[in-house]
Amino acid sequence: MSYFSELALQFIDGQWRPGSGSWDIVDINPYDGEKLASITVATVDEVDQAYRAAERAQKEWAAVNPYARRLVFERALRIIEDREQEITETIIAELGGTYLKAAFELALTKDLLRESMQLALRPEGRILPSAVDGKENRLYRLPVGVVGVISPFNFPLFLSIKAVAPALALGNGVVLKPHQDAPIVGGTLLAKVFEDAGLPAGLLNVVVTDIAEIGDALLEHPVPKTIAFTGSDRVGRHVATVAASHFKRAVLELGGNSALIVLDDADLDYAVDAAVFSRFAHQGQVCMAANRVLVDRKVLAEFTEKFVAKIASLKVGDPKDPSTQIGPLINSTQADSITAQVDQAVAAGARVLLRGNTVGTLMDPVVLTDLPADSPVLRRELFGPVVLLVPFDGEDEAVALANDTPFGLSGAVHSGSIERGVQVAQRIETGMIHVNDGTIHDEPIVPFGGEKNSGVGRLNGESTVEAFTTVKWISIQHGRSRFPF
């Protein structure tokens, strides 16, 4: 099937239909500018219809035996496996993702679906003792009801399903709004997979729209009890504020400015490989990407020579070419913004070790070093193929540099001594950090999330159960209570 012709619609209450807004979101191939689809935006009224449909369907779904619920996810997994080539081609066309990126995203997606099968069986009740004679305290773990999900453009299939599938598995309904630059991969493709897997109508709704059309309707609507948002810290702050003002939970996975630290006893060849992948996977458009590579001065010269040489060998070009390692950025606005930030850093004193051209959405890798201590790019997320090489003297300075950022999502430490690496890792203010590995990792049973401006809350495993369920206390008095009046 042609996903771009058949799925360029809204999916509300089990029906595929056009939006009723007055304008269209145009889905563009970021590499060649080809128009892939045109989707008329959903309105505030259609957001309401989606939430009401999820609310109606959820009550019956929550009563379904969890062993029966998990069959939907088994079927969804088989569908994705059967359609892997078509989905790969869609990721390449809509996102500018390379074959490597598509394979990586699909592997994560399939692992998440396998975990969702288990999540359906995960919620457990408890019986707690009471100080009152004859009283029984029961704690029931229940679905929150309906979850609103807002997903980004960089890994939209995985980062949509990361919230959608567990929320459904735990007995909730869902309304998903994908990013405007990834409406198919991040939205309606997922709806099609679950529809074909036999998910009851109305449980999953996808609204393709924009804040210019609906404002904060997706956040303020009275039905959803939890909002799961993945995106920038700027938008995340707004989501958190609106959610809190309406007494909703917000699970926020936001940006990062990860540091990969190379200590003086590291395996340099291995550290180079880890650093290059950690920075340039999907053109650097990864929240966990290593924006900064911190290297002990004792090994700086050798590391730099090998690091720059490997980056210079990366192939930039058409993502449909299986040998391409760096494809286009998501749009020209992003490419222009990253290029401008590089220009500003160089003008302020940064030294260029490697730099090519930016042509349209294609940007050659950039390596900068000797940045002034107050350089803004050292503390912000760079969503593009730019890496900052920062020398340090000793572990204390490495830790101080790594922590000198408002973000704290991921990181890595390379050392010939595992325990030394762990000791340094413990000092880094980040939600996740990896010893002798890259910065880009996500495993379905390990809590995923950040500190500081990188987010609030965690997903995966038991953290997901906490995010998408609530606890209800029911006490039972056996015999008669005594009341003071």
> Distance between CA atoms of 452 and 405, rounded to whole angstroms?
9
Fill in the DSSP letter of residue 187: I
Confidence of residue 2 (pLDDT cuts 50, 70, 90): confident
pLDDT in tens, 32-89: 999 999 999 999 999 999 999 999 999 999 999 999 999 999 999 999 999 999 999 9
pLDDT of residue 406: 96
Phi, psi of 286 (to 5 degrees): -135, 130
Please, what's the largest Cα pairwise distance for the chain? Answer: 83
> Distance between CA atoms of 450 and 254, rounded to whole angstroms?
8
Q: E strands of 226-273, at which residues?
A: 226-230, 249-253, 259-262
* Six-digit token string for 259: 């540091």
3-class secondary structure, 229: strand
pLDDT in tens, 110-141: 999 999 999 999 999 999 999 999 999 999 99
* Six-digit token string for 235: 């938008």
List of domains in the chain: 3-254+454-473 (3.40.605.10), 259-435 (3.40.309.10)
CA atoms within 13 A on the CB side of 464: 28
Confidence of residue 194 (pLDDT cuts 50, 70, 90): very high
Residue with tokens 């490419």: 335
Encode burial over 3-24: b for 16+ CB neighbours within 10 A, e otherwise. Answer: bbeebbbbbbbbebeebebeee
430 touches 332 (CB < 8 A): no
pLDDT in tens, 326-357: 999 999 999 999 999 999 999 999 999 999 99
Can you give the three-state secondary structure of 43-60, one letter per residue?
CHHHHHHHHHHHHHHHHH
Residue 439 has pLDDT above 50, yes or no: yes
The predicted model gives 170-178 an average pLDDT of 98
**pTM of structure:** 0.95
pLDDT of residue 482: 87
Nearest to 204 by CA among 218, 183, 188, 215: 188
Q: Got the DSSP string for 334-356? A: HHHHHHHHHHHHHHTTPEEEE--
The predicted model gives 354-366 an average pLDDT of 96
Percentage of residues of the chain with pLDDT beyond 70:
100
The mean pLDDT value of the chain amounts to 96
> Distance between CA atoms of 70 and 291, rounded to whole angstroms?
39
Backbone φ/ψ region at 359: left (φ over 0), alpha (ψ -120 to 50), beta: beta
Residue with tokens 């990860």: 258
3 touches 90 (CB < 8 A): yes
Nearest to 299 by CA among 225, 216, 382, 398: 398
pLDDT of residue 89: 96
How large is the C-alpha radius of gyration of the chain? 24
pLDDT of residue 199: 98
54 touches 14 (CB < 8 A): no
The predicted model gives 395-416 an average pLDDT of 97
Residue 77: which H helix or E strand, with range?
helix 66-82
Residue 428 has pLDDT above 90, yes or no: yes
Q: In angstroms, what CA-CA distances link 420 with 228, 254, 438?
A: 36, 29, 17
Residue 153 has pLDDT above 90, yes or no: yes
pLDDT in tens, 252-274: 999 999 999 999 999 999 999 99
Instruction: Count CB-CB contacts under 10 A for residue 234.
Output: 10
* Six-digit token string for 97: 């993702």
Pairing mode, strands 362-363 and 358-359: antiparallel
Percentage of residues of the chain with pLDDT beyond 90:
98
Give me the active site residues, please.
253, 287
130 touches 137 (CB < 8 A): yes
pLDDT of residue 1: 47
389 touches 353 (CB < 8 A): yes
